[in-house]
Amino acid sequence: MDCIRSQCVKQIISSIYFGFSKCFQCITLQQNLMNVTNQLEMCREDIAKWDQSILQLTEENRKLKDENLKLSESSLELQVQRKKRNLTLQNNVKVIASKQSDRGNVYFYDLSFEHPLNKTVTDRIYTEMVGDVGGKIDHTEDEVRAGCALYFKSQRKDEQKKIKGTFKKHRAQCRSHQRKLKKLDERKKAINDPRITLTSEEKQFGLDILSLGLEGVSSEEDPSSDEEDPIDRRKRKRSDSASRVRKVKEFYWQSSEFINIKDKVDDFFVNSIATSAQKRVRWIRIRDVTCLESDRKPPAKVQPWMLKESDLEL
């Protein structure tokens, strides 16, 4: 009996010990769970703080972008105003310098700008410019002198080109370059106009064409179509119907898709954007099928879709 009783006591004690052990484990697990819960709560708070910081940074970034946009617009506006102001100065210098030349006050290109004879001419230009506006001139005397130096430097280069026989060629190249810049600007306006009916693919093609810059504007022009008398040019500007045809050579490498997109964009500009003045002085450009194709190589940024199939290896 004592042996049985001893075994029962041992079993009871073992059960009690096991129960206490389980309780202790449960308490430990509960404490661990509470610790983990606290850590999660702290993480949630940290995440909330980070989210708030991100929102603040995003708002600050937006404000900075707005400020940069305003500064860019302001800078662009200042550049435009400065350019207009400089063009006005150059036009005034050109007109008054021509008057002074007619009166016998000739600028000597073989002498320096600081030579007394040439300084006399610039002094008279400044005096006349001040007198024309009643003494209220928008430019300082130093700016007028700088404008005179720039104008006479340009005239000196023109005189040197005339002596060498390269003046007409240089002038034609300058006019061609300005026409290309104008054409590129027209295409930018047309492609970015919301009214133009371009598919998403055509819009991307148009942007690809713009990325070529001046090299993708036009091919070689027929030099004979550049000849024009200055008087005829003034008459053409005053005429509502007068226009000229400028012959250009085709790029030998351009695909039909490349031609179609360019034509679509150019036609949209003429029909939907161009002012009556722009239409009046516009030069009609046609591809001269009687001439050989332009041998100008494709631009470095040319896209595969712009090339004919036979030129894809380029």
**Each residue's pLDDT tens digit, 103-133:** 888 888 888 888 888 888 888 888 888 876 5
Q: Is the model more confident about 83 or about 219?
A: 83
**Per-residue confidence (pLDDT) for residue 201, from 0 to 100:** 92
The answer to whether residue 247 scores a pLDDT higher than 50 is: yes
DSSP β-bridge partners for residue 287: 248
For the chain, give the mean pLDDT: 78
pLDDT band at 285 (very low <50, low <70, confident <90, very high): low
Q: Provide the percentage of residues in the chain whose pLDDT is more than 90.
A: 9
| Of 262, 281, 278, 260, the residue nearest 270 (C-alpha) | 278
**Per-residue confidence (pLDDT) for residue 290, from 0 to 100:** 60
Among 105-119, 157-171, 177-191, 272-286, name the one with the lowest average pLDDT. Answer: 272-286
The answer to whether residue 235 scores a pLDDT higher than 50 is: no
Q: Provide the percentage of residues in the chain whose pLDDT is more than 70.
A: 76
Cα 280 from Cα 240, distance rounded (Å): 5
Q: Report pTM.
A: 0.55
**Per-residue confidence (pLDDT) for residue 238, from 0 to 100:** 43
Cα 199 from Cα 192, distance rounded (Å): 13
The token pair that represents 101 in the structure block: 């030349």
The token pair that represents 219 in the structure block: 């091919």
The answer to whether residue 165 scores a pLDDT higher than 80 is: yes
Half-sphere exposure of 141 (CA within 13 A, CB side): 6
102 dihedral zone (left: phi>0; alpha: psi -120 to 50; beta): alpha
DSSP β-bridge partners for residue 221: 248
Among 40-44, 225-229, 283-287, name the one with the lowest average pLDDT. Answer: 225-229
Place of tokens 């879709």: 305
The answer to whether residue 286 scores a pLDDT higher than 70 is: no
Torsion sign across C-alpha atoms 99, 100, 102, 103: positive
